[in-house]
Structure 1
Amino acid sequence: MADQMTGAMTADTIQGSGGIGRLRSSLWILVLPALLFVILFFLIPVLSLFASSFDKASAGVITFQGNFSWDNYERIFTRPLYYMAIFRSVYLGAAAALICLIIGYPLAFIIARTARPGAALLLTILVLASMQLDMVIRLYGMMVLMGDNGLINAGLTKIGLISEPLPLMYNRFGVVVGLVQVTLPFMVLSLIGAIKSINPALEEAARSLGSSRWHVMRTISWPLSLPGVYAGTLLVFALAVSSYVVPALMGGWKVVTLPIHIYQQIAEVGRWQFGAAIAGVLFLTSLFAMALYILALRRNAGGRV
């Protein structure tokens, strides 16, 4: 009797293992379309772009010719016009990420901690409302607001506070403001989820023991929300450093970044190989900057990054 029960249990175990294996196989089948999409529309174009960057520059030639050369990268790192654009792109991306964090954290904290669902929903809708409009339309609206004859300068001139228009656009300030306006919702949404995951009982316990609100925020809420902070900061930085539309419109082609150089070389001059080299430098610069950021902040994350 015992042998029969043991045999039945063994058979059930084998059958169960087979069922788990078939389930895992079916799950991989579900992943296959997304995997093929990534390979076809991401990996292949990116690898082709990198291959073209090592090809000898030839105007109007798109396909890879196999003429290996370092001239494209040598030109980037020996001419100030191009290697200064690297530092300018990283600076603008870092500034936008920092400002988005300063502005977005209090807003995300209020949304996450609002007791009334209706109020939290309203605030979330206000955050998402700007994302419903196309980026170009939003930036043209900012140009109407911040231009030399825009609403801000016209209003300040009318009340006598300024005699000449303030330089709010076509400079780094205008580009940073545009990047913050475009990327702020991504920061807020990343922070809301992280703050909601914090157990409110921890904050209440600290308050009951005599800690001030600022001390609770600094020692409990902020450290526990660091995963959202890191995710939002990296997302904003990646979007800002690779932005083309914002520097083109808000910078007026005067704040030249790597994406603008890529557009000029490919769309205007037709030098696909050199444009591909600039794109490769932009990609590697973004990865390198994010890697340094993660390594610098991981020490204070307690293993949460």
Structure 2
Amino acid sequence: MSAFLQKIGKPGRTALLAAPGVLFFFIFFVVPLASLFLLSLDKPTLGNASIQWLFDFRNFERFFSRSIYYEAAIRSAGLAALVSVIALILGYPLAYLIAKTTDVRRNTTLMILVLSAMQLDMVIRLFGLMVLMGDVGLINEFLRWLGLVGDEPLPLMYNFAGVVVGLVQFSLPFMILSLVGVIQGINPALEEAARSLGARRWQTFWKITIPLSMPGILAGLLLVFAISFSSYVVPTLMGGWKVVVLPIHIFQQVAELGKWQFGAAIAAIMFAISFLVMLIYQRAAIQASGGRI
């Protein structure tokens, strides 16, 4: 085997090692995605999921001609952007603490707390939130016991705020993990040099630490945005079908109405929006970091 690898040379070894991953990516991502795009261009046919090679743009015309669909796209993008910002605000201090903690036991404990949130299935975690935030949940019952609310409970669920809380709770560990490694990679000598030149702690943080951790911020924002933008379970359970986002429309069109072509068109538009937002994020981050990304 080693003689064979030496014979094919370094470029051949690289191609050989990359071949399984590339093949898997092509079969299970590129092919389904291309099929989805082709299906979205077919003539709307109820209950038919096969590609007919009929290039018809009526599915996209329907999406942009009805406000219920393009408003859902705006709502989905706005929700994902808001969740990304909140996750960054909540996750950066904890990631900074983990990265700067030198005590091995304390650092391990903090990492276990972050990773433990990812061990349970998302549905189980959301059911736990429902027990906490429901109309007769722990929060409302505690507030009733204190006499702060009456018979009308606080609307903590089945609204936009409930969906935001659910998405932040689910995506926060991904933001923290994206930031920890980057912050740990920042050379402490740079911060010490800034302090020795008279910079205050907050000046060092904003002028040195934040710019150098921009790659982790970018990665976390992109990851949280993608998770939130494509989430179906969280808006369904925490929003109670009242916060209608694009994944809910896709499910309704395909699973309930059998309109595969229109559901594929919504999915194609959703993919295009996500890809466009990622390009905008990357360009803005490159400019903010001085071209280091």
TM-score (norm 1): 0.92
2:122 is aligned with 1:135: yes
2:160 is aligned with 1:172: yes
In the alignment, what sits opposite 2:262?
274
Select the residue among 263, 272, 285 that pairs with 1:284: 272
**CA shift at 1:117, angstroms?**
1.3
- Native 8 Å contact 2:85 2:221 kept in 1: yes
2:225 is aligned with 1:237: yes
Alpha-carbon distance in structure 2 between the residues aligned to 1:111 and 1:201? 19
Select the residue among 80, 83, 102 that pairs with 1:115: 102
**CA shift at 1:262, angstroms?**
0.4
Alpha-carbon distance in structure 2 between the residues aligned to 1:229 and 1:296? 12
1:185-207 CA distance string (max 9 Å, x none): 11000100110110011112222
- Native 8 Å contact 2:214 2:285 kept in 1: no
Structure showing greater radius of gyration is 1
In the alignment, what sits opposite 1:58?
45
Which sections of structure 1, spanning at least 5 residues, go unmatched?
1-17
| SS of residue matched to 1:50 | helix
- Native 8 Å contact 2:118 2:173 kept in 1: yes
2:23 is aligned with 1:36: yes
Taking a change above 3 Å as real, the CA distance of residues 28 and 56 of structure 1, as seen in their structure-2 partners, is same
**CA shift at 1:22, angstroms?**
1.4
Alpha-carbon distance in structure 1 between the residues aligned to 2:40 and 2:222? 26
Give, as a single letter, the amino acid of the residue that structure 1 aligns with 2:17. L
Alpha-carbon distance in structure 1 between the residues aligned to 2:113 and 2:83? 20
1:64-112 CA distance string (max 9 Å, x none): 0122211100000010110000000001100100000000000000000
1:149-180 CA distance string (max 9 Å, x none): 11011101110112221111111100011110
Aligned ranges 1:82-97 → 2 under 5 Å:
82-97=69-84
CA RMSD in angstroms comes to 1.3
Aligned ranges 1:1-305 → 2 under 5 Å:
22-163=9-150, 164-305=152-293
1:229-271 CA distance string (max 9 Å, x none): 0111011001100100000000001000000000011111111
Alpha-carbon distance in structure 1 between the residues aligned to 2:63 and 2:88? 32
Paired positions, count: 288
Give, as a single letter, the amino acid of the residue that structure 2 aligns with 1:142. L
**CA shift at 1:60, angstroms?**
0.9
- Native 8 Å contact 2:156 2:162 kept in 1: yes
Give, as a single letter, the amino acid of the residue that structure 2 aligns with 1:34. G
**CA shift at 1:57, angstroms?**
0.8
**CA shift at 1:23, angstroms?**
2.9
In the alignment, what sits opposite 1:8?
none
1:14-66 CA distance string (max 9 Å, x none): xxxx9596133123112111111111111000000000000011111011012
**CA shift at 1:295, angstroms?**
2.4
Alpha-carbon distance in structure 2 between the residues aligned to 1:279 and 1:262? 7
1:112-156 CA distance string (max 9 Å, x none): 000101111110110010100000000010011011111011101
Alpha-carbon distance in structure 2 between the residues aligned to 1:60 and 1:276? 13
Give, as a single letter, the amino acid of the residue that structure 1 aligns with 2:113. L
- Native 8 Å contact 2:250 2:266 kept in 1: yes
| SS of residue matched to 1:211 | coil
4+ residue segments displaced more than 3 Å: 18-21
Q: Percent identity?
A: 56
| SS of residue matched to 2:118 | helix
| SS of residue matched to 1:299 | helix
Alpha-carbon distance in structure 1 between the residues aligned to 2:6 and 2:27? 32
